[in-house]
Every structure is written in structure tokens, then in C-alpha cells.
Amino acid sequence: MSTLTPSGKPRLPNSTLFSYGLADFPVMLAIMPMMLYMNFFYSSEFGLDLIDMGSMMLFARVFDLITDPLVGYLSDHTKTPWGRRRPWMVASLPFLMLGLYKVLIPSEGADLWYLFTWLMVLWLGWTMLMIPYYAWGAELTTDYDDRTRVTSWRAGIGSLGQLTSISFPVIMVTFFTLDGFGEIMEITAYAALILTPICVLYTVWKVDEKPNTGGSSMQLFDGLKVMAKNGSFLWLVTAFMISSLGVAVLMPLNAFYVTAVLGATENMVPFIMFFGTFAGIAGIPFWLAMSKRFGKHRAWIGGFFLVTAISPMYLFLGPGDFWFMMPFAVISAFGTGSFIALPNSMKADVIDIDTARTGENRAAQYFSAWSLATKGASSLGATLGLWALGWIGFEASQGMLNTPEAIQGLVYVYTFLPSSIFILAGIVIWRYPITKERQTRIRAAIDRRDVRRAQAATQIAPGIAE
């Protein structure tokens, strides 16, 4: 097997890709119950108002306007014998683990302020871990297609974490007694608390940082100004933010749709996600192949089209139709495989434009902006979904009955709101300008400049010695 990419650059070994991607496993394992069950659980068990919860999540993201750019800037400027990225990942663990414990295993009588406080702690740990981690991935290789391998491995391993998170309750429901979403969240929390330090520390131990990444000399706000002039980045981050918004609307609504519209119990929700996650993982190699043939953004649009095309089928389901929903959910999840792998690979390509213009590597600052957009979209999506349920008069608290109008409103929200958002994302990314050919030219220019700098340094060094 060749060890070079088609562009003639060293091909990353699979062992490195596995070791790097492993850190994403526990993060995705832990985030699944937050996306799927948390809103339903806190509203039904603790009686939190849906509109109040949505507003709180949106307000909490104001904190990220400070932490995300700051962590990105500090990570780019960190200088240790251990590298720039790895110290931040290790330092994130106490915050991340404490926040996970408190959010997923809430104290008795938890209220809106309890949830707000511990989500803030959790998101701080998330920021400290994921911004340096993603920036590190962008620096592992400069090859257009090899970058997609990096993100595909990470996404695949992360999807296995999601699958594991879903498998726990499926196994418990099948073979044991499980008491709803509360126990699902608790089981997942303990698994995440054990696996997070193991996987993150393994990645830090086994994967080397590139020694010549050229940290930024720009001050924080100067760097943000330059970033704002990177049109391709703005194009990409806007499309990704919109698509993340659609996912964030869709995922929490699954629990409400399955229980209120299909009449299934809470324990059946993990089955939808279990088979859907398998389909998402299976979709990653397919969308990777499509990206090589048609380009990354065209393949991503194909995923949007597939998810949107299947959405109207949910209009025709009703009480007792849980298993009829399964094939539609699986096909839709297959389409989301493009959401998982491709945009993250495209991020590294737009960072190359900045590097070509400035001569500096400010990957973490870019990933901080990306993280901020992603988390903002996630919060806004959850907020829109909860607000929509509140506006149609849907009642989530235990023992409350909903009118037929409220149930039908839920069907319309679940069917049309996410798909409309995905259509908008596809329209935005349609004319995205970076192709494989353009990225190759940009990267070649960067490499030539690096060679000239290295040659100049070797010519200066003898003179200094004399």
C-alpha cells in the first residue's frame, strides 16, 4: 500500500487517525442524552416550562462569546514542551466531568438556575477540550483528501460513541427494567465519567503535534478582523451553523414525537436512535466517496436533499406506528453521515486561505469561531424547538393531557421545521468556492513560502555564527 497521497505528501497511518479520533468517543457518548432526553426529562420530571428552558439555553450562550475566542487565542499562543493543544485538553477534564455529572444526574428539586449553572461549567470544559482538539486535527495533514480521512475517522469514532450511548438503554430495555430517561441519563453519565479521561489522555499520549505549526503573532481582535475577511470561511460557517440549527431542532423533538404522536413509551426512543446511529456511521464512507467524486460541498448538499426528502413521511404516522417510523428514520440518518464528516474537513481548507494570506497558523482561533457558531446554533435550535412546542400549547409535564390540535401542531413542527432549515443550508453552500483544485494551489503556495523561509533561515544562521 502506498504511503503517499495523490498529491505526493505523506499519508497519515490509520493508527494515528484512530488514536486522534478516540478522544471524540466519550464526548459524543455524553452529548447524546443531552440532545435527546435532557429537555424532555427536565420539563416532565421537574416541571420546567418549555419556553423558559429555551430562553435559558439561548441566554447561557452569551458566556461563550467570551470563552470561545479567548480559548482559541490562548491555545494558538500556548508554548510548552508538550505542544499548544495537549495541555488545554488535559486541563479541560475537571470542568467537563463535573458538569456532566451535575447535568446528567441532577439533584432532587433541580430548578432552572441549577440547570443553567452546571451547563455553564460543562460548556466551559467542552470549549477547553474541543477547540484545541479540532485545531490539532487540522494541523495533522495539509492534503485535501487526507484531511477528510482525519475528520471521517474522528466522526466515525464519535458516531461509535453515540451508538454506545444509545446501546446502553437499548440493552437495558431489552433484558432488564429501565425507568425512563432519568436512568438512561444516569447510566450514560457514569460511562462518560469513566471513559472521558481514559480516551482523552490516550490521544494526548499517542499523537504527536506537528512541531512547525507557526503560531500567530497577531493580537486577538486583529486576528478576528482578518478572519472576518475570509469569505470562504464565512460562507462555510454560515451553512454549518444553519445545518446545526436544523439538527438541534430535530434531535430533542424525537422524544416528544415518539411519545406524544406515536404513543410509545420513553424506553422506545433509544431504539430509533440506535438504528439511526448505525445508519449514520454507514453513511460516512459513502459520503466520503461522493466527496472525492463531486467535491465536499456537493456531497454535503446530497445529504441535505436526502434528509429533506424523507421528512414528509412523518405526516402519515400516528398511534401504534412506532416501527413504521424506523425505515424513514434510518434513511434520514444515513443522509446525516454527510453532516458528520464533510464540513469538518472543509474547515481545514478555509484555514489554508488565511495561512496563505498572513503566513501564520491560527487554526484554534478559527475553530473557536466555529465552536461558537456551532454551540450558538445548537442552543438556538433547542430554543426554537421548545418555543415552538410552547407556542402550539403542547404540555410536557407528567400527567398533562394534550389537545388534538397540540398533537397535530407537534407533527407539523417535527416534519417541516428541521427540513426547512436544511433546505436553507443547502442553498447557502451551493456556490461555495473552494474545490479540490483550488485548495491544492493554495497549499502549494504555502509550501513554497515555507521552503523559502527555511532556506533564508539556513543562510542567516552561518552569518550569525561567524
CATH numbers and ranges of domains, the chain:
19-207+217-454 (1.20.1250.20)
How far CA 233 is from CA of 150, 274, 347, 416, in Å, comes to 19, 34, 7, 28
Residues 6+ apart with CB under 8 A from 444: none
Nearest to 138 by CA among 92, 90, 85, 79: 85
> How many Å is the maximal CA-CA distance in the chain?
88
287/295 Cα distance (integer angstroms): 10
Contacts of 365 (CB under 8 A, 6+ apart): 69, 72, 73, 76, 216, 220, 223, 224, 227
State the helix-helix crossing angle for 337-358 and 112-138, rounded to 10 degrees.
Answer: 60
Burial class of residue 210 (count of CB atoms within 10 Å of its CB; 0-12, 13-18, 19+): middle
Cross-strand pairs, 10:
4
Beta-carbon count within 10 A of 79 CB: 8
- Per-residue pLDDT 10s for the chain (466 aa) are 447 555 566 788 899 999 999 999 999 898 888 877 888 889 888 888 888 888 888 777 777 778 888 888 888 888 888 888 999 999 999 999 999 999 999 988 889 999 999 999 998 999 999 889 988 887 888 777 787 788 888 888 988 888 888 887 777 777 767 667 788 888 889 999 999 999 999 999 999 887 644 444 444 455 556 666 777 888 888 898 899 888 888 888 888 899 889 998 887 888 888 888 888 888 888 998 899 888 888 999 999 999 999 999 999 999 999 999 999 999 999 998 888 778 877 877 888 887 787 777 667 677 777 777 777 787 788 788 888 888 888 887 655 678 889 999 999 999 999 999 999 999 999 988 888 888 888 888 888 887 777 777 666 655 554 5
- Beta-carbon contacts of 99 under 8 Å, excluding residues fewer than 6 positions away, are 118, 119, 120, 121, 122, 123, 124, 125, 126
Strand partners, 4: 10
